[in-house]
Amino acid sequence: MQFEGEHLLPGRIGHFFVLLAFVASIISTIAYFIAARKTDLVEKRSWLNFARIAFTTQLVSAVIIFIAIFYICANHYFEYMYAYKHASKELEPKYLLACIWEGQEGSFLLWAIWHSILGIFIIFRSKEWEAPVMTVISLAQFFLLMMLLGFYVGDVRLGSNPFTLTRNEITGPIFSQPNYLTFIKDGVGLNVLLRNYWMVIHPPVLFLGFAATIIPFAYAYAGIQTKRFGDWVTPALPWALFSACVLGVGIMMGGKWAYESLSFGGYWAWDPVENASLVPWMILIAGLHTMVIFKATGHSLKASYLFAFLSFIFILYSTFLTRTGVLGDTSVHAFTDAGKAINIMILLFVAAFTLPALGLLISNLKKIPTIQKEETTNSREFWMFIGSLVFFLAAIFIIAKTSVPVYNKILGTKIAQPEDVEFSYNKVIVLVAIIIGLLSAVTQYFKYKKTEPGSILKKLAVPTVIAAIITVLLAVFYPLTYYKMGAGFLGAVYVALFATIYAVIANGMYIWTGLNGKLKAAGGSVAHLGFALMIAGILISSSNKNIISSSSANGINLQISGKDPLTKQTDNPLENLTLIRDVPATMGPYEVTYLRDSFGNEKGRRFYELLFQRKEAGTKKVLEQFTLWPDVYIMKDNNMSSNPDTKTYLTKDVFTFISYAINNDVPEDTTQFSIKEMAEGDTAFYSNGIIILNSVVKNPVNEKYNFKPTDAALMADLTLISKDSLHYKAMPLIQVDGMGVNQVDDTVYAQNMYVKFAGVTDGRKVKIGIKESDKLIQYVTLKAYVFPYINLVWLGLIIMALGLIMSAVKRAKLSTFYAALALLLGAAGLFYMFLFAN
């Protein structure tokens, strides 16, 4: 049968390059593996050239595949299943990239492209390490590209082809007709939670971090394979620093997305998918510290091997957790079950790297050189190792708790998550924060191998006193208010706060005194300072987070509640405030008014304009005002997904999201106005109260109107008093200009009433039109937080990333050219972020 309107050429091109990239990955893996074992230089060079050609081929092919998928989604070719599932005509162009990595196939492709790009850097810079390192990277490409094949072996499909046709994937009577595309009006579209500019920026950065962790892994493998057991650390360390920087930034970009796009009121909820990406980063941080120890003293080489292997192994394990559906009931981030074949392929991917790596490490354990003399407790390397060990154990604790669904599935157990999931993590991690904060402050003042105790105490005295004073001042003048978990936990939070402040002060002073202000050598101290500042921001913003949308003091409580999809905690209905349109309500220090709503570009998306005003006590003088536009996607069944909006100050954020809204599209109201003739001071009745005409104002100048003395306008100043003794203002107006007579009606939404200045009688009475509508009152329910000093979190992240990059540049001994190239790429990244943020 000849189907009408199909565009098959892009899919055929894309599928051809999927096959080419897969074959090229096999060839490059074999060629690099052989080259790594050749001792004859001519043969080795020949195999290397062959491998490079194959690897470059799969890079070019992967890029073409990406372009083909983008082309199909951008042109809404819904004959392709990938475009039908992830794209839609209403979708803003800036989200088309997010369509690609929303699906399993696109995210695997993105990962493969980053591996390819990093592989090119390895080819040009790794010299004698190229063959064994690239063997590992090419093998990873083999598994990633296999996920895109979509081949059937018997009844089992290997991978999922992004170019498969919709009519081959969905059964239905329309697909037996040659014109079936005329029945497909639109695609399913991007998940509404992902329609945020951070989802255009966050996944590429995160997957670059995922991809980069393979390089320390590959160097560790190369060290064992070539029997150069300690030499691999020098070229691997800059890559470990780069990986830690990019992966850390990518994870916190996810936190920023959650903060701006999800409605659980924060940037971290110990969600299993968040944890799965955090654990490899923590192990990587432990590993780069043990690498530094080895470079300085020769100690901790075995630990460096272990951490280098485990960082990438846990990247693969996180892939298993998030893509096999095992976390489907515990995380809103995880993919659903992609099928038995894909699950088996992912398990093979994990096993292919885990078993050989750990097997090689165990079998060569005795061959790895070790310094028999133990580190002394007054040496820098001892405390650096303790810190690395604490980080590693914390990572194991997190992944062990995260893997509960895996235990249940394998063992058939029914281990349940604790009622308060967040606290089950926080009570342990706060102790980790204390230890790491103190070690980050103290350790750098030690020297490698041995330090005089007296000199340490002298150098630490000043930062210790300053940190203690700052902590005491905060406790007195800005106390932490996280009383929810009792005095014991609050005390631990205070100790953690002291430790992080201590780390900030001590690292800052070390840069100034210990390094004499030499910033080129201060990458480690800068990174520690940034990390401590970030943790301090997390402690303060989380402890003093304040819900200001309480309906117990004012407003309407509709008893809207439920369980948050991320925190799993039951929402308190008294923390939600319902606003009736145009009726102000007090919210913390603000008076908030729901002014109107409007449609977005996407179907079902609605923005709500909320006016926040902070007024002088006892007066109506407005000291400050701003407008927020939180939005929701309202579905046909009135289910909704909420996107917050935030007012950012230097010292706080006002974070607001819609917790309940209804579809305000109702049939046109046919009720007619009834006319009341009133003189100033007269009273008229309506069904729910009385209306008083206070005065008639000529050319009014007030919060609603601003006429000139030469204009011709009359405003009726009305007061409505309802049966429950509530007072409302209304200011309908009539104006005469060159276009004729204009009437500006006013609406009292709380009374479902429209008021009109209908004219003036011969007896100089005012005609007031009153229409009491049967339409549903327009209202919206919202929740609002104040996050104090949350900018410390983002500032600390930036400083930490800067410190890691400084260390990577120093360790790699990059030339001015490469440093300039890195800055150029960084500037391009910032431009990319700015482009999609706007």
Is-contact 662 668, C-beta < 8 A? no
Mark whether 128 and 79 lie in a shared domain: yes
Report pLDDT digits (tens) over 431-460: 999 999 999 999 999 999 888 877 888 889
Looking at the structure, tell me whether residues 259 and 369 fall in a common domain.
yes
Q: Is the pLDDT of residue 833 over 60?
A: no
At 218-237, the pLDDT tens digits run: 999 999 999 999 999 999 99
Residues 129 and 166 in one domain: yes
Nearest 5 degrees, angle CA 23-CA 115-CA 797? 165
Pairwise CA distance, residues 473 & 479, whole Å: 9
- Tell me the pLDDT tens digit for each residue of 327-369: 765 555 555 555 677 888 899 999 999 999 999 999 999 999 9
Quick check: is 122 in a domain?
Answer: yes
Quote the pLDDT of residue 462. Answer: 93
pLDDT bracket for residue 527 (50, 70, 90):
very high
Report the relative pairing of strands 546-547 and 151-153 from DSSP bridges: unpaired
Mean pLDDT confidence for 512-521: 77
Mean pLDDT of all residues in 489-515: 93
Using DSSP, state whether 241 is helix, strand or coil: helix
Distance of CA 409 to the CA centre of its chain: 29
Region for 614 from its dihedrals, namely left if φ exceeds 0, alpha if ψ lies in -120 to 50, beta otherwise: beta
Q: Are 689 and 721 in contact (CB under 8 A)?
A: yes
| pLDDT value at residue 333 | 54
What are residue 563's DSSP bridge partners?
Answer: 570
* Reported confidence tier of residue 832, pLDDT bands at 50, 70, 90: low
138 shares a domain with 207: no
Higher pLDDT among residues 415 and 716, named by residue: 716
Give a yes or no: residue 329 inside a domain: yes
DSSP single-letter state for residue 445: G
Q: Does residue 114 lie in a domain region?
A: yes
833 within a domain of the structure (yes/no): no
Read off the amino acid at residue 204: P
> Is residue 720's pLDDT more than 90?
yes
Beta-carbon contacts of residue 62 (< 8 Å; ≥ 6 apart): 17, 21, 109, 112, 113, 116, 145
The enclosing H or E element of 710 equals: none
Domain count, the chain: 5
Res 161 pLDDT > 70: yes
Domain finish residue from 136, 162, 195: 195
- Whether 641 has a pLDDT exceeding 80, the answer reads no
pLDDT tens digit string along 372-420? 888 888 899 999 999 999 999 999 999 999 998 888 888 888 888 888 8
DSSP 673: P
Structural domain including 371 reads 201-403
Distance in angstroms (rounded) separating the CA atoms of residues 636 and 632 = 13
Residue written as token pair 């007061």: 719
Question: What's the pLDDT score for residue 315?
Answer: 96
Q: What is the pLDDT of residues 475-488, one digit of tens each?
A: 999 999 988 889 99
**What does the pLDDT look like over 742-772, one tens digit per residue?**
888 888 877 888 899 999 888 889 999 998 8
Same domain membership, residue 502 and residue 363: no
Looking at residue 665, what is its pLDDT? 56
Task: Confirm if 290 and 387 have CB atoms less than 8 A apart.
Answer: no
**Alpha-carbon span 829 to 613, nearest angstrom:** 37
Which of 195, 213, 234 corresponds to the end of one domain? 195
Token look-up 């799993």 returns 568
Residue 339: per-residue pLDDT: 63
Please give the single-letter amino acid code of residue 348. Answer: L
pLDDT tens for each residue of 584-636: 888 888 889 998 888 766 677 889 999 999 888 767 788 999 999 998 877 65
Cβ atoms within 10 Å, residue 538: 22
Q: Is residue 820 part of a domain?
A: no
DSSP codes, 728-752 = EEE--EEEEETTEEEEE-EEEGGGT
What value does the CA radius of gyration of the chain take, rounded to a whole number of Å?
A: 32
* Structure confidence by residue, pLDDT tens digits, 273-301: 889 899 999 999 999 999 999 999 999 99
Q: Are residues 565 and 530 in the same domain?
A: no
Single out the residue in 141, 176, 195 at which a domain terminates.
195
Beta bridge pairs of residue 627: 611
Same domain (yes/no): 177, 272: no
Residue showing tokens 């083909």: 68
Share of the chain above pLDDT 70, in %: 89
Nearest to 459 by CA among 394, 510, 415: 510
Q: For residue 563, name the pLDDT band (cuts at 50, 70, 90).
A: very low
Q: Please indicate, yes or no, whether residues 638 and 680 belong to a single structural domain of this protein.
A: no
Task: Compare 525 and 261 and report the one with higher pLDDT.
Answer: 525
- The answer to whether residues 765 and 801 belong to one domain is no
User: Which band of pLDDT confidence, cut at 50, 70 and 90, is reported for residue 153?
Assistant: confident
Q: What are phi and psi of 326, to 5 degrees?
A: -70, -25
Residue 562 has pLDDT above 50, yes or no: no
Element at 811 (helix H, strand E): helix 791-812
What angle (nearest 5°) sits at the alpha carbon of residue 99, between those of residues 155 and 209? 90
Does residue 387 sit in the same domain as residue 440?
Answer: no
291: nearest Cα among 220, 365, 206, 360: 220
Residue type, 730: A
Same structural domain for residues 123 and 65? yes
**What kind and span of H or E run contains 654?**
strand 652-660
Contacts of 549 (CB under 8 A, 6+ apart): 575, 576, 577, 587, 656, 782, 783, 784, 785
Both 696 and 624 in a single domain? no
Asked if pLDDT for residue 565 goes beyond 50, the answer is: no
Q: Please state, rounded to an integer, the average pLDDT across all residues of the chain.
A: 86
Give the DSSP per-residue string, 371-439.
Answer: --SPPPTTSHHHHHHHHHHHHHHHHHHHHHHHTHHHHHHHH---PPPPSSHHHHHHHHHHHHHHHHHHH
Q: Which residues pair with 352 in a beta bridge?
A: none
